[in-house]
Amino acid sequence: MALEKFVSKTLELLQEEREAEIEETKIWQENISLKDLQNKGVCLLKLQIGSQSTGLYGRTVIVLEPRKHLGFSSLPSNSFGPGDIVGIYDPSGCSAASQICTGIVTRISQASISVAFDDLKDGASFDSDGLYNLLKLANDVTYKRMKRALNALNGYRTGPASSLIHVLFGDAQPSSHSQSNEFEFFNSELDDSQREAVSFALLQRELAVVHGPPGTGKTTTVVEIILQAVKQGQKVLCCAPSNVAVDNLVERLARCKAKVLRLGHPARLLESIQKHSLDAILAQSDNANIIADIRKDIDKALVGMKKKSEKGERGNFKREIGELRKELRNRETAAIAEILKSADVVLSTNTGACDDGPLKFLPAEHFDWVVIDECAQALESSCWIALLRARKCILAGDYKQLPPTIKSQTAAAKGLSLSLMERLIQTYGDSVVRMLTVQYRMNSAIMEWASKEMYHGRLTAHSSVEKHLLKDLPGVACVEETSTPLLLIDTAGCGLSEMEIADEQSKGNQGEVDIVSLHIKSLTEAGVKAKDIAVIAPYNLQVDLLRQKLSARHPEMEIKSVDGFQGREKEAVVLSLVRSNRKGEVGFLAEDRRINVAVTRARRHIAVVCDTQTVRNHAFLKSLVDHMTEVGEVRTAFEYLQDIVPQNYTRDHKDTKTNTSSTSNKQKNRDQAPGKAKEGQKTTSSSKDNTAGSQNHTKSHTSAQKDQKDNKSRYAEIKLQVENFMKDVNMKNLQFPSSFNSHDRLLVHQIAEELGLVHESRGEGGGRCITVSRPVASEPVEEPTQEETQEEETPEEETPEEEPAPALQSEPPPSQPSVDLKTLHLERMRREQQKREENVQQKKQQNCNPAAQGTKKSKGKKKTKAGACDIAAAAVPDDDFDALISAVVKADSVCSFVKCKASVLTLGQLCIYCNRQFCLSHHIPEVHGCGDKAKSHARMRISKEGVLYAGSGKKDKSLDPNKKVYLQRKLDSKLKDMASQRKSKNKEKDT
């Protein structure tokens, strides 16, 4: 029989789970010092008694505090919470021998912890001068209750739940009332899917399942169902696995004027809920005063007993206390039964519905319906504690979110984690289920992925949330970050590996912490409130790292594990996926439901920080990455990290160089990292502009090594072509196709220089191509001068700290004369002047002023004496040209940030506000002093155009395309002129 099999198997698995839990505690206790246990937060050492009193049901409650006389004002940070079972020990340790008794935490604050003791062992009392240790214990109350429920289920013969049990074990088909009574909805706002679920629940005789995906108003629906049941005169027992979920229902039902009663220790309830607790109602009842008096008497007797040292007198007090407690219990019992009977809806946690609690005062047939919310997060055995009390059950939840936490992997694998809800859907399919399909939480861009991957594409976003964004919140500025619902920050190839810790459950990634922190900064700077942001990570270690970094600055921001955030929502969610490794291992992340939960907490914005290269190895995570790439904005982590470039991208291509050429230090710079151009660029894409974005994005997956390899082989390929051309005397020149990108052209340029060939680029944009030809007659190949070779070691020292640059970006100059440092210096002087002129123009064009330019004064013009530039300068009277070309060269080579020497040849970014090239550490406007301009610019554009480009990074870069084209064209024509003048000059020489 299915039932018996289920019970015996589940009992076995529960035992296994229990043992795993005990084992864990034992490992702590045996192998870890008390001090370390305290550091882990599961132990509190050397506390003193603050006070002692009698609480509800005659429990003794003691308040423990740190040793104030020694100056300890607050408890060490710990993981104790209300409801935890704790052992209290004498200060010699935390062993079984030193245990005084066990109790339950009722309250915890920074300054003290309160513990209630159900039955203090005879004579056990606490010395007000003594010191005590507290240790969290594995809670076996839950296990005992579940076991008892399973055994009761197994032995169930007749009772209210008989036919329900048959249905739930497949022995009878679920049935429904043939006709529904006409009814009116209490909540007129319900959507169609919610109404359908309510009607269905009312119509079913034994079982109805309400499947509520994230944000679909599951609780709203459950509340309506309960109100309808009450209207029909049913008594309802309503449960959920967590106190929070129960409290939520209490609040909502109370608002609808239902007569509710909340069971459970008041210390475990939200403050706003406490007035609905049994204690509170009891305190208002007629018996309250009598009960209070009895309690006082007990307290008095306790004090009296302590003062007496004589055995006989103590005995008298003990007897008196016993009598008083008995009377207290009798009075309370009568009062409780009365209160319970008059409530329409009794609410508790699943395990709180046990019959060793107040419910034991009710007759077996009292309840008609049992409603279990968040059913997919509960162990089935915990559901049976309540289910045995009624003839009909309504189960609500989402089995596509996380199942209950289970310590024993094997028990989970053998089926302990299968929830009742999921099991029933497996048995009966959709016939017992109604799914809610309108969601009221997420921007549709966030929802679509979850809908497609988890809910058969059935979800639709309600119009009130469909398009909502962070920028729509009051006080939030409209910037890129607040205007996109989906932001993927990709760390692939950035070297931000996870920490290498063997423990599968504890993984951390400091690099991701830094990026999260930077993103939080931009969100909060844009006006998003910290309390509206959740930072979520799947691993506790990462949560700790994130808290360390962020909590002090943003105390109101919630930083939690995915599992700890289930059932919640926030306007903005920042998710750090942590895993980044060569093996592509995702481990714990491979639980699809965990990722589903994490993403669907977000209302208006989700940012995912992850290494797409690693997480793509998992199909479900890949679908998320793909979705975000497709409809969201994608950035590379390069954009966020300082100092990453020098660390990860200093490369040496010495092996690809030949010695024959006149390689200037500028060219050496060029050698460093060609091929990274695409990767370094802002890989921002929007829905309007996602082709380029995803290309870039894909590109960024290639690792540094691979790029380097590709680069070498490309180099060899082109070089071979050029060498073949050189052998073929019939060929006048070698034109490379326009399909060559800037990087390819850079290689051609380099090879031509090495082989002493002339090279020239023509055309614009996509039509641009480079041609190589033989040098005219006997044009001398430039040898590096002595001076140059010497200074090559420290070439950058010579260059000034701020290097202005015109707007030529990532496009290498088509031709480059060999220059020496002196020449450069002189040209720099000229450039200063040129730039000042440009400045004036720019100011007119846009309201943005380069931050640090024009500060250096030109010391006057001097003619250069040696080097190729000399020839060029002589040949081209317009000395604007020298400035131009060297500015281009310079702009393309070194970061403009003060003292930064990072090459920006291929990894550079142009700042549109100051028109200078920066390395990836310094390109962010805020970093190098253009922050205010960026902000005001963003605001200006928005107010002017009324829209914000989601991936506005792209647009911004081409903001000044005219200028770029203008400069390029100017350079090209100058180069052509130069080439022809050179020819004529050489001819003159020859003749």
Ligand X SMILES: Nc1ncnc2c1ncn2[C@@H]1O[C@H](COP(=O)(O)OP(=O)(O)OP(=O)(O)O)[C@@H](O)[C@H]1O
Establish if 488 lies at the interface with Zn ion (CB under 5 A): no
Closer Cβ to ligand X, 264 or 567, answer by number: 567
For the bound state, the minimum distance from the C-beta of residue 467 to ligand X, rounded and expressed in Å, comes to: 16
For the bound state, the minimum distance from the C-beta of residue 919 to Zn ion, rounded and expressed in Å, comes to: 4
Q: Which does 516 bind (CB under 5 to 8 A by kind): Zn ion, ligand X, none?
A: none
For the bound state, the minimum distance from the C-beta of residue 699 to ligand X, rounded and expressed in Å, comes to: 38
Residue 905 vs residues 118, 544, 666, 667, 889: alpha-carbon distances, Å: 73, 39, 10, 10, 9
Closer Cβ to ligand X, 233 or 474, answer by number: 474
Q: Which does 897 bind (CB under 5 to 8 A by kind): ligand X, Zn ion, none?
A: Zn ion
Of 290-298, 564-572, 626-634, 919-927, which part binds Zn ion (CB under 5 A)? 919-927
Exactly one of 136, 594, 831, 922 binds Zn ion (CB under 5 A); that residue is: 922
Establish if 907 lies at the interface with Zn ion (CB under 5 A): no
Cα–Cα distance, 861 to 868 (Å, whole number): 18
Exactly one of 900, 910, 967, 971 binds Zn ion (CB under 5 A); that residue is: 900
For the bound state, the minimum distance from the C-beta of residue 537 to ligand X, rounded and expressed in Å, comes to: 21
Q: Which does 191 bind (CB under 5 to 8 A by kind): ligand X, Zn ion, none?
A: ligand X
Q: Which does 82 bind (CB under 5 to 8 A by kind): ligand X, Zn ion, none?
A: none
Closer Cβ to Zn ion, 736 or 913, answer by number: 913
Closer Cβ to ligand X, 301 or 438, answer by number: 438
User: 10: closest CA among 419, 424, 416?
Assistant: 416
Closer Cβ to ligand X, 414 or 458, answer by number: 458
How many other C-beta atoms are found inside a 10 Å radius of the C-beta of residue 287? 18
Which residues, at least 6 apart from 138, have a Cβ–Cβ distance to it below 8 Å? 18, 21, 22, 24, 25, 85
Closer Cβ to ligand X, 245 or 645, answer by number: 245
For the bound state, the minimum distance from the C-beta of residue 518 to Zn ion, rounded and expressed in Å, comes to: 16
Which residues, at least 6 apart from 505, have a Cβ–Cβ distance to it below 8 Å? 539, 540, 588
Closer Cβ to Zn ion, 516 or 641, answer by number: 641
Of 234-242, 402-410, 541-549, 923-931, which part binds Zn ion (CB under 5 A)? 923-931
Tokens of 683: 């890989």
Closer Cβ to ligand X, 103 or 217, answer by number: 217
CB 348 within 8 Å of CB 246: yes
Q: Which does 930 bind (CB under 5 to 8 A by kind): Zn ion, ligand X, none?
A: Zn ion
Which residues, at least 6 apart from 688, have a Cβ–Cβ distance to it below 8 Å? 949, 950, 951
Which residues, at least 6 apart from 621, have a Cβ–Cβ distance to it below 8 Å? 577, 586, 589, 595, 610, 615
Cα–Cα distance, 905 to 235 (Å, whole number): 75
For the bound state, the minimum distance from the C-beta of residue 527 to Zn ion, rounded and expressed in Å, comes to: 23
Of 7-15, 434-442, 621-629, 911-919, which part binds Zn ion (CB under 5 A)? 911-919
Closer Cβ to ligand X, 191 or 279, answer by number: 191
For the bound state, the minimum distance from the C-beta of residue 929 to Zn ion, rounded and expressed in Å, comes to: 7
Cα–Cα distance, 622 to 644 (Å, whole number): 26
Closer Cβ to ligand X, 447 or 975, answer by number: 447
User: 141: closest CA among 104, 106, 113, 112?
Assistant: 104
Q: Which does 454 bind (CB under 5 to 8 A by kind): Zn ion, ligand X, none?
A: none
Closer Cβ to Zn ion, 135 or 910, answer by number: 910
How many other C-beta atoms are found inside a 10 Å radius of the C-beta of residue 2? 11
For the bound state, the minimum distance from the C-beta of residue 543 to Zn ion, rounded and expressed in Å, comes to: 33
Q: Which does 913 bind (CB under 5 to 8 A by kind): ligand X, Zn ion, none?
A: Zn ion
Exactly one of 559, 911, 942, 967 binds Zn ion (CB under 5 A); that residue is: 911
Residue 968 vs residues 741, 758, 807, 810, 962: alpha-carbon distances, Å: 15, 19, 9, 12, 10
For the bound state, the minimum distance from the C-beta of residue 447 to ligand X, rounded and expressed in Å, comes to: 12
Which residues, at least 6 apart from 851, have a Cβ–Cβ distance to it below 8 Å? 914, 928, 929, 930
For the bound state, the minimum distance from the C-beta of residue 193 to ligand X, rounded and expressed in Å, comes to: 9
Strand extents, DSSP E, 67-184: 85-89, 99-108, 113-117, 131-136
Cα–Cα distance, 968 to 311 (Å, whole number): 104
For the bound state, the minimum distance from the C-beta of residue 438 to ligand X, rounded and expressed in Å, comes to: 7
Q: Which does 217 bind (CB under 5 to 8 A by kind): ligand X, Zn ion, none?
A: ligand X
Closer Cβ to ligand X, 425 or 597, answer by number: 597
Q: Which does 664 bind (CB under 5 to 8 A by kind): Zn ion, ligand X, none?
A: none
DSSP for 709-747 reads HHHHHHHHHHHHHHHHHHH-TT--EEEPPTT--HHHHHH
| Beta pairing partners, 990 | none
For the bound state, the minimum distance from the C-beta of residue 474 to ligand X, rounded and expressed in Å, comes to: 18
Q: Which does 638 bind (CB under 5 to 8 A by kind): ligand X, Zn ion, none?
A: none
Exposure of 372 in the CB half-sphere (CA atoms within 13 A): 32
What crossing angle do the helices spanning 311-342 and 288-307 adopt, rounded to 10°?
A: 160
Q: Which does 216 bind (CB under 5 to 8 A by kind): ligand X, Zn ion, none?
A: ligand X
Site string for Zn ion, 876-895 (x = CB under 5 A): -------------------x
Residue of minimal CB distance from ligand X? Answer: 217
Residue 353 vs residues 72, 117, 385, 415, 966: alpha-carbon distances, Å: 40, 21, 6, 24, 78
For the bound state, the minimum distance from the C-beta of residue 461 to ligand X, rounded and expressed in Å, comes to: 11
Establish if 919 lies at the interface with Zn ion (CB under 5 A): yes
Helix (H, G, I), strand (E, B) or coil at 985: helix
Establish if 923 lies at the interface with Zn ion (CB under 5 A): no
Cα–Cα distance, 732 to 726 (Å, whole number): 9
Closer Cβ to Zn ion, 470 or 902, answer by number: 902
Cα–Cα distance, 515 to 349 (Å, whole number): 39
For the bound state, the minimum distance from the C-beta of residue 375 to ligand X, rounded and expressed in Å, comes to: 11
Q: Which does 565 bind (CB under 5 to 8 A by kind): Zn ion, ligand X, none?
A: none
Cα–Cα distance, 629 to 128 (Å, whole number): 64
Closer Cβ to Zn ion, 302 or 924, answer by number: 924
For the bound state, the minimum distance from the C-beta of residue 278 to ligand X, rounded and expressed in Å, comes to: 25
Cα–Cα distance, 484 to 352 (Å, whole number): 44
Exposure of 280 in the CB half-sphere (CA atoms within 13 A): 17
DSSP for 347-375 reads EEETGGGSTTSGGGGS-TT--SEEEETTG
Q: Which does 302 bind (CB under 5 to 8 A by kind): ligand X, Zn ion, none?
A: none
Cα–Cα distance, 900 to 916 (Å, whole number): 13
For the bound state, the minimum distance from the C-beta of residue 194 to ligand X, rounded and expressed in Å, comes to: 6
Near Zn ion in 929-958, by CB under 5 A: 930
Q: Which does 986 bind (CB under 5 to 8 A by kind): Zn ion, ligand X, none?
A: none
For the bound state, the minimum distance from the C-beta of residue 198 to ligand X, rounded and expressed in Å, comes to: 11
Q: Read off the amino acid at residue 397.
A: G
CB 824 within 8 Å of CB 850: no
Of 132-140, 293-301, 857-865, 922-930, which part binds Zn ion (CB under 5 A)? 922-930
Establish if 638 lies at the interface with Zn ion (CB under 5 A): no
Tokens of 475: 């006080």
CB 107 within 8 Å of CB 147: no
Residues of this chain that bind ligand X (CB under 6 A): 189-191, 194, 212, 214-220, 440
Binding site for Zn ion (CB under 5 A): 895, 897, 900, 902, 911, 913-914, 919, 922, 930
